[in-house]
Amino acid sequence: MPRRNQPRQPASQASQPSQPSVSSSRQNDALQEFQARRVQRRLDDLERTNPTDIPASSFVPAESSQTPAPGPLQQLPARKKQTANVRRILYNKKSLKDWLDELPAEPVPPYLSAIAPAPSIPPRRICSSCGYFGAYKCSRCAEWSCDRVCMEVHERDGGCGIGR
């Protein structure tokens, strides 16, 4: 009686025992070659993006290839494999001197380099006597006046530095 969770097999496959065929070994060989090429391509990419070498002291040495003597289970100190992220962090690690060397020699104060944009509208012509919109310009000092009365006040009271 078949179990519920297992898919049913056709009767022809159920009666014949499975035997490895030549095509399956070729598939396994092709799969292994594909995986090896993929690993090699990944290593080449890593080498290309890592132009300088990471110091050898930052890597964990490989385990020796000697086999342990037979006996009770031996607990060897387990070492974690160093991941790509750890290698990247070690590679990009900067000292304080490196950070200070990247700073500009003498920082320019912002108030010296701040520049306001040019105005998009012309300056307003304001009457120098009453503050209304100016229509006439003094020929001596180039200040604006709104009418003849304000122009006379400007000339009389010394608005342009002449008067009295």
* Partners of 133 in the β-ladder: 126
Q: Looking at the 3D structure of the chain, how many domains does it have?
A: 1
Domain range for 154 = 126-163
Query: Two tokens at 127?
Result: 């009457």
Which residues of the chain form beta strands (DSSP E)?
136-137, 144-145
In a domain, residue 63? The reply is: no
In a domain, residue 37? The reply is: no
In a domain, residue 132? The reply is: yes
In a domain, residue 137? The reply is: yes
Cα-based angle 115, 101, 112 (whole degrees, multiple of 5): 15
In a domain, residue 108? The reply is: no
In a domain, residue 147? The reply is: yes
pTM of the model: 0.29
Q: Read off the amino acid at residue 113.
A: S
Residue appearing with tokens 């307003």? 124
In a domain, residue 142? The reply is: yes
What is the residue-level pLDDT of the chain in tens, covering all 164 positions? 555 666 666 555 555 555 556 688 888 899 899 999 999 988 888 777 765 555 556 556 556 555 555 555 566 566 677 788 887 887 778 888 888 888 877 878 888 889 999 999 988 899 988 889 999 888 888 889 999 999 888 888 877 766 54
In a domain, residue 159? The reply is: yes
Polymer length in residues for the chain? 164
